[in-house]
Amino acid sequence: MNTPSLSRPVDRRDFLKFSAFAGGGLVLGYYLKSAGSASAAEVVKPAAGAEFKPNAFIRIAPNGVVTLVSKQPEIGQGVKTSLPMIIAEELEVNWKDVVVVQGDLDAAYGGQSAGGSRSTPNNYNEFHKLGATARTMLVEAAAQTWGVPAGECSAAGSAVHHAATKRTLKFGELVAKASTLPVPAAADVKLKDPKDFKLLGTRIGGVDNPKVVTGQPLFGMDTKLPGMLYAVYEKCPVFGGKVVSANVDAIKALPGVKDAFIIEGTANLGGLMPGVAIVADSTWAAFSARKQLKVTWDEGKAANDSWDAFTAKALELSKQPGASTVHQDGDVTTALAGAAKTVEAAYSYPFISHASIEPQNCTAWFKDGGFELWAPSQNPGGGQSAIVSQFGVPKEKVIVHLTRSGGGFGRRLSNDYILEVAAIAQKVSAPVKLTWSREDDLRHDQYRAGGFHFLKGGIDAAGKIVGWKNHFIAFGSVQAGRGGAAPALRAGTGGNLDAEQFPSKFLPNFLNEISVIECNIPMGPWRAPNNNVFSFVMQCFIDELAHAGGRDPLELRLELLAQKMSGNYDAARMTAVVKLVAAKAGWNPKKFPRGQGQGISFHFSHSGYIAQVAEVTVSKQGELKVDRFVCVCDVGQQIVNLSGAENQVQGSIIDGIGTAMFQELNLERGRMVQGNFNDYPMIRMPDAPGKVEVHFLSSNNPTTGLGEPAIPPVAPALCNAIFAACGKRVRQFPISRTDLRWS
C-alpha cells in the first residue's frame, strides 16, 4: 500500500486511512518508518463494541480522557513521559487529562528501540505534527458546531474556546464531530511557536513514578502468568565454551524441579550460548537446584586468556607501528622532534559490566507454533528477529510485550537472554520466566571494551600543542570482510576509534593509529560507546600538555577549539558551552589550597555538546571526596521535560564518577573473576558529589537526547581535578588503583 507522507498536504481520501471514528473516540495515527519519516497508517473501523486497537498514538474519549501511546522502550531515561508530552503540548491538552500507555512491539509504530539517545530526535518533529493536526481538527469541529470561522477559535486546557462569545467546548464533547472531518492540509496545520509552550520545558514527574515507589508491577521481573514456571540457565564460565555432560537426572529429582536439560546452542557470542536449563515451580527452587548442578565443560580456546597477558601484549604492540591508521594530518614525527617539550603517557581501562539493577530476564510462552514474550528489552524488534532466525518461526507468530526495564545502558540492545528463554519455552508446555542471577549478569555481559592508549605530545616554547600521537590498543576478533574483502581482525563494539574523536582535525600534526588484540570476550555498547573512555584519555592528556607548557587548561582548550581544520564537529557550539561552564563554576584553579582542585573537560557525542567542571578534595591520606560538579549542555533548541533532563545529567555524573572510581572486571583463565557487588562495588551515597549543578544552553539546532552525551566528560573532569588537588595523575581505571596520598 502506498501511504501518504505527513510532510505534504493530506486529502480526504488519505484521511480515511489516517483517522477513524471508534467507540465514540477520535483516533489519529501515523506509521513511523525506521528512518524517522512519517506516513499515514491504515485504520479500520471496528465492529460495534469491539476493543479498538489502531495503529495510533492519540485517542480521545467522550469523557475527555486523552490516551497517548508511548512506543519506545522505557529503560529509566524517561521517554514514556517526555515523548507524550510533545503530543500533549501541540494538542493543548491538560496533562492531568492524559493517560499514557506502553505500546507493545508493533510494525505500525515503526522503530521501537532505545539506544544512542535517539528516541527524542527520531520522534520530536513528527510528534509535534501529530498533536497539531489533532488540535486543528478539534478547533474546526468546534467552529462548525458554533457556526463561526475557525480563525476565531483557539484550543487551550483540553477545550476549544470562542473568545467573542465566551463559549467553550471540551475535547470530549467534540470527538464525534471531529471524527467526521477531513484531515487538514499541511499548510493549514500551524505548529506552536516555542515561546508559547506551556508544557515543554517544565518539570513533569514520570508517569510510572507512583507505581515505581509503591512497588507495583512494571518491570520484566514482575511478570506473572497463570501456571508460570521459573527457569535458570547455566553457561560455561569461559566465553565460547560448550557443555560436555551434566547431572540433569539428579537435578530433576530435586524438590520443585519440573525439568532439566542441555541446550546445544550455537556458541556464537551474543547469540544462543550452550548451557543447562533448570525449570522449577519457583525461582527459589530453580536457584537452589542450580547449586547442585555439576557440568563438565569444553572450555575452548579462550581458557588461558587473562588481563595480565593482554596487558603484556599491549605493551609489546605499543613498541611497534600501529596496524592501521585511523586519522593522520601533517608530519607528526617531525613535529614531535622539533617540539620544545614532549610528554609521553600510557592510559588504560578495564572491561566493565553494565550492572543494571534489574538482571536480565524474560518470560516466554511457546504455543500454537509461536512465541509470546514479555521482555524488558531495548531492542524488542531485534529480539523478535533473532527468534525468527534461530527457531524458524514466522515473524507474525512472535509477539513481544514491552515491559519497563530496570536500567539498560546498552546491555538490553543484545537479546541473548531472550533467545535462552525461547529455547527453554520450546521444551515446556507452560509460560516460563528466565531470571539471571547477579553472577550471570556480571560474568555473561556484553562488556564495555577495555583498552590501552600510548600517547606522545609536543608543545612549543609558548605551550602550544604542535604534535600529537595516539597508539590505541583495542580488543577485537576476526570478522567477516567488508565489501568483498578478506576476513580481518577488527576492534569490537564499543572499542572503535573513529576519525572524528577530538582533537582529531584540530591539530596540524596528528596521528591516531590502532592495533587489535584478538580475544573471545563479548563486547557491546555501554552508555555512550567509545566516547565514555576516549574522552577520559584525550581530555586528560590535553590537561597533561597544558600543565607541561605552563598553560591554563581552560585557555589551552579554547585555543584548540579555535584551530578546527575539517569535519562536522561544531567548534563554535562547544566553545560556547566551555565558556559558560567556566563562568558558572567560577573557574579559577589558583584559588584552591593544596588538597583541593578544579578540573575541566568537554566532549561531543550523540549530538550533544557538553562541558563539565569538577571540584574535589583529596586528603593527605589519599581519600577522595567529590565536592561539586557543574555541567553545561547544548542538546539543541528545546528541553522537553526539564525534570527528566536534569535527572539524566545528574545520573550520568553520578554513574560516571562511580564507574571511574570503582568498577573493573579481571579476567583469569578465560573467565571474569568478579561476580557480585561485594567484589564489583557500585557508587554509594558518601561517594556522590555534594553538589551537582546542571545548566542548559539553548541553540538553534535540532533537539536531541540526553541519556548518553553527559557521561563522557565526567571521568576526565574528575581526574583533572584530582591532579590539581594533589599532583597525582590518574592514567588507569578504576581510580582506586592509583595511590592518591600526598605530603
Length of the chain: 743
Exposed e or buried b for every residue in 139-163, given b needs 16+ CB within 10 A? bbbbbbbbeeebeebebeebbbbbe
- Kindly report the number of other CB atoms within 10 A of residue 469's CB atom: 22
List, for residues 648-674, the tens digit of each pLDDT value. Answer: 999 999 999 999 999 999 999 999 999
- Kindly report the number of other CB atoms within 10 A of residue 715's CB atom: 29
List, for residues 313-358, the tens digit of each pLDDT value. Answer: 999 999 999 999 999 999 999 999 999 999 999 999 999 999 999 9
Residues 61 and 78 in one domain: yes
* Phi, psi for 18 (deg, rounded to 5): -105, -30
Distance CA 392, CA 385 (A): 10
Residues 336 and 372 in one domain: no
Q: What is the mean pLDDT of the chain?
A: 91
Residues 169 and 130 in one domain: yes
Residues 512 and 661 in one domain: yes
Please check whether residue 688 lies inside any domain of the structure: yes
pLDDT at 43 over 90: no
* Chain centroid offset of residue 688 CA: 22
Confidence band for 27, pLDDT divided at 50, 70 and 90:
low
Task: Map residue 310 onto helix, strand or coil.
Answer: helix
Summarize the confidence of residues 473-484 as an average pLDDT: 86
Contact predicate 654/342, CB 8 Å: no
Residue 557 in grid coordinates? 582548550
Strand 257-263 and strand 275-280: the pairing is antiparallel
Packed helices 119-146 and 79-91: angle between N→C axes, nearest 10 degrees: 30
Please check whether residue 7 lies inside any domain of the structure: no
Final residue of a domain: which of 435, 458, 483?
435
Final residue of a domain: which of 158, 187, 212?
212
Contact predicate 496/544, CB 8 Å: no
List, for residues 521-580, the tens digit of each pLDDT value. Answer: 999 999 999 999 999 999 999 999 999 999 999 999 999 999 999 999 999 999 999 999
pLDDT at 140 over 60: yes
Distance CA 689, CA 403 (A): 32
Residues 254 and 312 in one domain: no
Summarize the confidence of residues 193-218 as an average pLDDT: 97
Residues 719 and 602 in one domain: yes
Residues 625 and 708 in one domain: yes
Q: Which residues contact 606 (CB under 8 A, 6 or more apart)?
A: 116, 117, 118, 528, 531, 704, 705, 707, 708, 709
Residues 344 and 374 in one domain: no
Distance CA 357, CA 379 (A): 18
Among candidate residues 582, 574, 654, the one with its CA nearest the CA of residue 607: 574
CATH (domain of 282): 3.30.365.10
Among candidate residues 632, 612, 634, 633, the one with its CA nearest the CA of residue 719: 612
**For the chain, counts of helices (H) and of strands (E):** 17, 31
Please check whether residue 217 lies inside any domain of the structure: no
Residue 455 in grid coordinates? 600517547
Please check whether residue 250 lies inside any domain of the structure: yes
Please report the pLDDT score of residue 26 as a whole number: 64
Please report the pLDDT score of residue 626 as a whole number: 98
Residues 369 and 511 in one domain: no
Task: State the greatest distance between any 2 C-alpha atoms of the chain, in Å, as a whole number.
Answer: 84
Task: Map residue 442 onto helix, strand or coil.
Answer: helix
* Chain centroid offset of residue 82 CA: 15
Please report the pLDDT score of residue 479 as a whole number: 85
Distance CA 565, CA 508 (A): 8
Residues 491 and 372 in one domain: no
Please check whether residue 220 lies inside any domain of the structure: no
* Phi, psi for 317 (deg, rounded to 5): -65, -30
- DSSP H or E run through 560: helix 553-561
Please report the pLDDT score of residue 643 as a whole number: 97
- Kindly report the number of other CB atoms within 10 A of residue 341's CB atom: 15
Q: Give the chain's domain count.
A: 3
Final residue of a domain: which of 212, 239, 273?
212
Please check whether residue 652 lies inside any domain of the structure: yes
Summarize the confidence of residues 86-90 as an average pLDDT: 96
Please report the pLDDT score of residue 2 as a whole number: 34
Residues 660 and 591 in one domain: yes
- What is the extent of the structural domain holding 38? 12-212
pLDDT at 625 over 70: yes
Please check whether residue 68 lies inside any domain of the structure: yes
Q: Of 36-50, 594-608, 694-708, which range is least confident?
A: 36-50
Percent of the chain with pLDDT over 70: 92
Please check whether residue 670 lies inside any domain of the structure: yes
Residue 245 in grid coordinates? 555432560
List, for residues 152-187, the tens digit of each pLDDT value. Answer: 999 999 999 999 999 999 999 998 888 888 888 888
Please report the pLDDT score of residue 25 as a whole number: 62
Q: Of 32-46, 341-355, 589-603, 619-633, which range is least confident?
A: 32-46
pTM > 0.75: yes or no: yes
pLDDT at 515 over 70: yes
Residues 364 and 500 in one domain: no
Q: Which amino acid is at 445?
A: D
